[in-house]
């Protein structure tokens, strides 16, 4: 059995830490013999505008419980804990346990597994929603992890972004550096809003967000990291724009008609092929959307989140993916 959970956002006041603790004690621990893998789909920690060490110390109890579980554990970084990649490169582990495999021992951005003939691709999910400006968005996410508090000035935030932006390709780096003050402000407000304010749960304004991201993205960069040629990526961008405009016509994502939901799933799968190399036939397991679902037809699933009173997970067993609330 493989269990996938994501979006705990430990460190945020919205985190359902007590609910997740009961999940560990009442489900994961008693079923250790049957669970081969625990996949943490990112945003387990919420390091945005928080002191990283303080978040870890305050949640050491639940992190230690996870680390002591007798099963393979993989941690896939999300946008809210993206800095783990750089933090861990400077030290072997952030969490010392006596177990052979702690939760920070296998940290990556993607993971491929096979279960009973079912090929699985695990990611956090921001790689899909921000595919056109992924390099910038991950720079932005890392910068937000190194912002200590909500009170830091906008200029301080962008000074951190500029320092990370040195690693971007020249054209994209110049786009970032030449942004107007108003555009920088709009980008931060749009991308660093409340936890529910990600691309799946926005009620309106997805096309506006797309237009903002286009100011810090270059399709040649996308092509450099993809097997698809530039003209294919541009064609996909046109389809992506059209579907965002259609979604924006509805007051809430939850009332999208089934045929449109199916089309959105297909577009997300195409985006994953561009950014994380999703292969034909692979089942995409993701988080980030904060909405639990499994679509067998389009081979995509989201593990939901642990915010407020919510709690959910995905279970992969006997070649089937199923969704469960806690």
**pLDDT tens for residues 172-223?**
999 999 999 999 988 988 888 654 434 444 444 899 999 999 999 999 989 9
Range of the structural domain that residue 249 is part of: 128-261
CATH code for the domain in which residue 38 is found? 3.60.21.10
Q: Report percent pLDDT > 90 for the chain.
A: 75
Q: What is the pLDDT of residue 198?
A: 43
Same domain, 37 and 96: yes
Same domain, 88 and 156: no
Residues 67 and 116 placed together within one structural domain of the fold: yes
Q: Are residues 141 and 76 in the same domain?
A: no
Residues 123 and 6: their CA atoms lie apart, in Å, by 10
Answer yes or no: is 269 within a domain: no
**Residue 266 domain flag:** no
Same domain, 186 and 105: no
What's the CA gap between 64 and 57, in Å, rounded?
A: 11
Q: Could you give phi then psi for residue 302, rounded to 5 degrees? A: -125, 135
CA terminus-to-terminus distance, the chain: 17
| 315 and 250 both lie in a single domain | no
pTM: 0.92
Pair 236, 155 in one domain: yes
Q: Are 290 and 196 in contact (CB under 8 A)?
A: yes
* Other CB atoms within 10 A of residue 33 CB: 9
For residues 137 and 253, state if they share a domain.
Answer: yes
111 domain-assigned: yes
Contacts of 181 (CB under 8 A, 6+ apart): none
Structural domain includes residue 274: no
**What pLDDT score was predicted for residue 152?**
60
* Token pair 């409340």: residue: 194
- The pLDDT of residue 148: 76
What total number of domains does the chain contain?
A: 2
- Asked if residue 132 and residue 119 are part of one domain, the reply reads no
In a domain, 153, yes or no: yes
Alpha-carbon distances, residue 166 vs 83, 127, 135, 162, 218 (angstroms): 16, 21, 12, 7, 16
pLDDT of residue 203: 43
pLDDT for res 156: 72
Which pLDDT score is estimated for 155?
60
Q: Does some domain include residue 309?
A: yes
Same domain flag for 141 and 221: yes
Pair (211, 255) in one structural domain: yes
| DSSP secondary structure string for all residues of 163-225 | HHHTTS-HHHHHHHHT--HHHHHHHHHHHSS-TT-STTT-SS-HHHHHHHHHTT--HHHHHHT
Q: Are 47 and 13 in contact (CB under 8 A)?
A: no
CB distance 8 to 20 below 8 Å: yes
Inside any domain, residue 273: no
270 domain residue, yes or no: no
Same domain, 117 and 141: no
């Amino acid at each position: 059995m493989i269990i996938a959970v994501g979006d705990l956002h430990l460190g945020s006041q919205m985190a359902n830490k007590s609910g997740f603790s009961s999940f560990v004690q009442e489900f994961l621990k008693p079923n250790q013999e049957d669970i081969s893998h625990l996949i943490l789909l990112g945003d387990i920690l919420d390091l945005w505008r928080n002191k990283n060490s303080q978040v870890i110390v305050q949640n050491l109890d639940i992190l230690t419980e996870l680390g002591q579980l007798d099963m393979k554990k993989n941690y896939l970084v999300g946008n809210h804990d993206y800095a783990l990649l750089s933090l861990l490169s400077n030290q072997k582990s952030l969490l010392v346990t006596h177990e052979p495999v702690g939760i920070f021992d296998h940290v990556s951005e993607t993971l491929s597994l096979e279960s009973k003939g079912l090929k699985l691709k695990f990611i956090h999910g921001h790689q899909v929603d921000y595919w056109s400006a992924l390099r910038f968005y991950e720079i932005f996410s890392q910068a937000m992890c190194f912002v200590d508090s909500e009170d830091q000035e906008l200029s301080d935030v962008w000074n951190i972004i500029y320092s990370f932006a040195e690693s971007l390709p020249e054209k994209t780096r110049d786009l970032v550096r030449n942004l107007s003050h108003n555009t920088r402000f709009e980008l931060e407000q749009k991308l660093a809003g409340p936890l529910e304010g990600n691309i799946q749960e926005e009620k309106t304004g997805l096309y506006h967000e797309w237009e903002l991201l286009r100011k810090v993205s270059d399709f040649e960069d996308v092509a450099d990291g993809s097997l698809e040629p530039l003209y294919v990526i541009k064609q996909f961008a046109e389809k992506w724009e059209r579907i965002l405009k259609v979604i924006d016509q509805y007051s809430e994502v939850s009332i999208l008609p089934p045929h449109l939901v199916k089309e959105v799933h297909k577009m997300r799968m195409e985006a994953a092929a561009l950014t994380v190399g999703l292969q034909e036939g692979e089942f995409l397991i993701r988080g980030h959307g904060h909405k639990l679902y499994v679509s067998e037809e389009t081979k995509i699933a989201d593990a939901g989140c642990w915010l407020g009173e919510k709690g959910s997970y995905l279970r992969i067993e006997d070649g089937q993916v199923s969704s469960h609330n806690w």
